[in-house]
Chain A
Amino acid sequence: KAGVTQTPRYLIKTRGQQVTLSCSPISGHRSVSWYQQTPGQGLQFLFEYFSETQRNKGNFPGRFSGRQFSNSRSEMNVSTLELGDSALYLCASSSSPGLTNEKLFFGSGTQLSVL
């Protein structure tokens, strides 16, 4: 079974641009969540999607948005990039959110650098 796949692996953008990141969950997983990882802040929760609906949202500005498609693949978009958006963006999938023993499966992340 293939793991969580994130593309691209690396991205370099300039301030003001926008970017779209992609995540393909493990086959059969319907929940996808996104995290921003920075050295000083650790993992910060962005949002979670389940069956194409956003279920949870973290405390990020509206420049950060996402969506999920019918095949459970998810995209995250950041508009009007700022230098502080430079981070590793991690995607995680799970099969049935809400179960006590549920765990997250993480992708290797997309490293975004904003210049």
Chain B
Amino acid sequence: GDSVTQMEGPVTLSEEAFLTINCTYTATGYPSLFWYVQYPGEGLQLLLKATKADDKGSNKGFEATYRKETTSFHLEKGSVQVSDSAVYFCASRDTGNQFYFGTGTSLTVIP
């Protein structure tokens, strides 16, 4: 079945450092791909999405490109801030509308 694998954390970075969180997926079809973020004590919020190959999702300085050839959707940000500290989840959605989430990557940004 479909699944999503993302790099394990926790990740600790200094403010203004470059962030990459790796995510790969397996799917029988052509899923939509998402990054969700969970701030402490809150539910998940959609950060960005891409619905087809080569699409780039972006939001709040974060970017991810749907790479069909490598089945990847890595999250990047050029300069992280303390306020970016959260847990990040990569997810796919199959054509039957079922979502598959990765295990989450905890990010802590220190000043």
- Determine the chain B residues whose CB is within 8 A of the CB of A84 once the complex forms: none
| Count of chain A residues near B, Cβ 8 A | 25
Tell me if B46 and A104 are in contact (CB < 8 A).
yes
Tell me if B97 and A35 are in contact (CB < 8 A).
no
Closest-by-CB residue of A relative to B49 is: A103
| Count of chain B residues near A, Cβ 8 A | 23
Q: Cα distance A1–B46 when bound, in Å? A: 17
Closest-by-CB residue of A relative to B43 is: A106
Number of A-B contacts (CB under 8 A): 54
Tell me if B99 and A33 are in contact (CB < 8 A).
yes
Task: Give, as a whole number of angstroms, the nearest-CB distance from B62 to chain A.
Answer: 15
Tell me if A103 and B34 are in contact (CB < 8 A).
yes
The listed residue (A35, A43, A56, A100) touching B96 by CB distance below 8 A is A56
Tell me if A42 and B89 are in contact (CB < 8 A).
yes
Closest-by-CB residue of B relative to A40 is: B103
- Determine the chain B residues whose CB is within 8 A of the CB of A101 once the complex forms: 49, 51
Given contacts A41-B103, A42-B102, A43-B104, contact A108 B43 (CB under 8 A): yes
Closest-by-CB residue of A relative to B102 is: A42
Q: Cα distance A43–B93 when bound, in Å? A: 14
Task: Give, as a whole number of angstroms, the nearest-CB distance from A12 to chain B.
Answer: 18
Where the two chains meet, the residues of A that have a C-beta atom closer than 8 Å to any C-beta of B are: 4, 33, 35, 40-45, 48, 55-56, 90, 92, 97-98, 100-104, 106-109
